Amino acid sequence: MDTLQRAVDKLYKERFGQLVASLLYSSRDIDPATAEDIVQDSFSVALSHWAQNGIPLHPSAWIFKVCRNKALNTLRCKGRMEGLSERTPIQTVESRFTESVLDDHTLSLLFAAAHPDLAPKIQIVTTLKYVINLKVEAIAKCLAMTLDSVDKLLVRARQKIKDEKILLEEPRLTELKRRLPTVHKIIYLIFNEGYKSSWGNELIREELCEEALLLNRALMENGLGNKETAALHALMLFNSARFKSRFDVNGELVELENQDRTLWNHNLISLGNHYLNESQCETLSSYHLEAYIAYLHSTAPTFEATDWKIITQMYAILLKNNPNPFIRLSYAVALYYDGRKEDAFRTLQELQRLSFFNRYYLFNLTLGKLHHLEGRDAIARTFLTEAIGQTNFLKEKNFIARLLASLGN
């Protein structure tokens, strides 16, 4: 039964969003909530039926057939039969659901989630739900949201999809190109949620990063990508190369300067370098700049040998193009390690004027750490104590607690 459950779970993860979208494509009289219920019921039927009769040769097509029949029954009850038919050939179904996770249908869903009428947060939640097929609990952990908040966002998304038939029409090529920057941003945010977050277990976080890479690669393989797509791919590869060293054997966070660089995946670094070269163009996007910063970190033999001067220059350009406080925080850190300590603390003092930033744990953690490195442990303790109360994640609390324990009296 464990083997069967794993097989069903894998199929659910790979096909849930596609099955829901297929029902929506098949009939305009099926709304998103009904489609989700039908797919959930179909997987329950599969679990029971396959336990007795074994897994069929084409499980995706088998599931779709059950979904189709349940949808027909639902439409009969409503007296609506437009679009969906029992004569829909199963061969069409089989060709539609190949063994590849990243077929054109998945990309259609991804671009549908990037619909300009959907709010950015809804775009992310919709992608996590229907493209990456995460359950509500996992989405809540990803985005540090409550289950109720995710449910409310999904209700709004379903209503929007239902009212405006957002998932029913694949965008034209010109519209796909217009949505590409949004798709990049969605992929970027999904990767960051997996890479930078400290929630959940390592497997789930690593899977999120892998999904983002696969989606981005699909853009390039299907001729939908551009130079920014290649730069984004390089950025994610460089960061993925360091994934295994970010946590120690006990699962605790490890700072960049203390990471075991022998654990870094040099094949991924080389591949990232390839895509960084492929991304070369006259106009540099934020993905180009961030990818080059990641390249400098990934190729430095030691933390001390990192080219902080160039990294500082890259952050300065990023800030010129996008003056947001989170980039400015990274810029301040780069200034400090470049030896420009007065400029670093001056930049941090400017950020202190932002009331919301003072409630950001990473800001206070940075101030605490840099004051500690300057031998000002009394000041450092104040900021670190503030930071430890500003995060709900145990790994982050443990990391800050270890820093506090290292301070002098």
pLDDT per residue over 227-252, tens digit each?
999 999 999 999 999 988 988 888 88
Tell me if 208 is assigned to some domain.
no
The three-state (H, E, C) secondary structure of 289-326, written as one string: HHHHHHHHHHHCCCCCCCCHHHHHHHHHHHHHHCCCHH
Tell me if 179 is assigned to some domain.
yes
Tell me if 45 is assigned to some domain.
yes
Say yes or no to pLDDT of 82 above 60: no
Judgement on whether residues 134 and 147 belong to the same structural domain of the protein: yes
Total number of domains constituting the chain = 2
Say yes or no to pLDDT of 201 above 70: no
Task: Give percent of the chain above pLDDT 90.
Answer: 43
The model's confidence at residue 91, banded by pLDDT at 50, 70 and 90, is: very low
The model's confidence at residue 93, banded by pLDDT at 50, 70 and 90, is: very low
Judgement on whether residues 105 and 185 belong to the same structural domain of the protein: yes
Asked whether 93 and 61 are in contact (CB, 8 A), the reply is: yes
Number of Cβ atoms within 10 Å of the Cβ of 186: 24
CA 381, CA 399: separation in Å to the nearest integer?
14
Tell me if 370 is assigned to some domain.
no
Domain end, chosen from 157, 190, 223, is at 190
Q: Helices marked H in 222-352 — which ranges?
A: 227-241, 266-278, 286-299, 308-321, 325-337, 341-352
Mean pLDDT over 214-238 rounds to: 94
Say yes or no to pLDDT of 21 above 70: yes
Lowest mean pLDDT among 58-67, 95-104, 156-165, 363-372: 95-104
Tell me if 350 is assigned to some domain.
no
Q: What is the largest CA-CA distance in the chain?
A: 78
CA 39, CA 20: separation in Å to the nearest integer?
7
Per-residue pLDDT at 78: 66
Is the C-alpha dihedral spanning 192, 195, 201, 203 positive or negative?
A: positive
Question: 393: which DSSP letter?
Answer: -
CA distances from 29 to 19, 83, 85, 184 (A): 16, 8, 13, 32
Say yes or no to pLDDT of 28 above 60: yes
Structural domain range at position 46: 2-96
Tell me if 363 is assigned to some domain.
no
Tell me if 152 is assigned to some domain.
yes
Looking at every residue in the chain, the average pLDDT score rounds to: 85
- Residue-wise pLDDT for 258-305, tens only, equals 999 999 999 999 999 999 999 999 999 999 999 999 999 999 999 999
Say yes or no to pLDDT of 98 above 50: no
Tell me if 163 is assigned to some domain.
yes
